[in-house]
Structure 1
Amino acid sequence: MAKEPAENTSEFDLGDFVEGKKFANFEHDFKGIVEKIYEHSLLVLITENDPEDTATVNEYNHRAVVRMSETKILVKTDNPAPRKSDEEEEDEEEIPEDIKLEDDDAEEEDEEEE
């Protein structure tokens, strides 16, 4: 079963231009664009780096996972992904029981077939 994606409650949005701190083989800080948001970290597409770090950037396929606490937003995106409002969250919680039961029955049938 696939997990539902976690809601983004951080200050970061997809497309933000950020600065990441050096780590591992990096000798200098780098800059890039947020591609994915995890619970406490970000996947950043590295777009600007020191020439000394070119080999490391290539080795990492121009991407790095960085801690949110060690990342600084330089430019916010103009088009952030929509976030759920409080009303939308309440609407999702009100799923009728008969719908829930139908979903559970379908899952049990799938398991029996295997």
Structure 2
Amino acid sequence: MMAKEPVENMSEFDLGDFVAGKKFANFEHDFKGIVERIYEHSLLVNITEFDPEDTATVNEYNHRAVVRMSETKILIKTDNPAPRPSLDDEDEDDEMPADLVEEDEDEEDEKEED
């Protein structure tokens, strides 16, 4: 079985967001934590705040839980979101200073002449 290609983050979530997760499985209460990984429809959350009644469950889960995006609420957006990959190379040209873009085009013309 082949590994899946990494999924591009098209969600509202970013690594480092502080979120509220809904209780599930053995959890008696909702919990809060920090987004560590982003999947297609879910998030890996490092649980940082939880009800004392859920201590055993949190420890059993190694302070991490995979939660549905649809059931997760952003409480605090991260100040430093991870950069998102661009959809195509043209986006990168838009971000480059104009003089650098022109030089790149000149180099391409020289290569074609050779």
- TM-score by length of structure 1 reads 0.73
- Bigger drift between 30-39 and 82-91 goes to 82-91
Q: In structure 1, the residue corresponding to 2:85 is in which secondary structure?
A: coil
1:34 to 2:35 alignment: yes
Shift, 1:6, TM fit: 1.2
The C-alpha deviation readout for 1:69-96, integer Å capped at 9, x for no partner, is 00000000001011133443778xxxxx
Q: Paired residues, what number?
A: 91
Structure 2: segments with no counterpart, 5+ residues: 93-114
**2: CA distance between counterparts of 1:59 and 1:49?**
13
Tell which structure's C-alpha radius of gyration is larger.
2
Letter in 2 for 1:20: G
Alignment of 1:17-32 (within 5 A): 17-32=18-33
Moved over 4 A (4+): none
Alignment of 1:86-97 (within 5 A): 86-88=87-89
Identity of aligned residues (%): 86
1:59 to 2:60 alignment: yes
Q: In structure 1, the residue corresponding to 2:55 is in which secondary structure?
A: helix
Alignment of 1:33-112 (within 5 A): 33-88=34-89
What RMSD over aligned residues (CA atoms) do the two structures have, in Å? 1.8
Shift, 1:4, TM fit: 2.9
**2: CA distance between counterparts of 1:23 and 1:68?**
13
Letter in 1 for 2:59: N
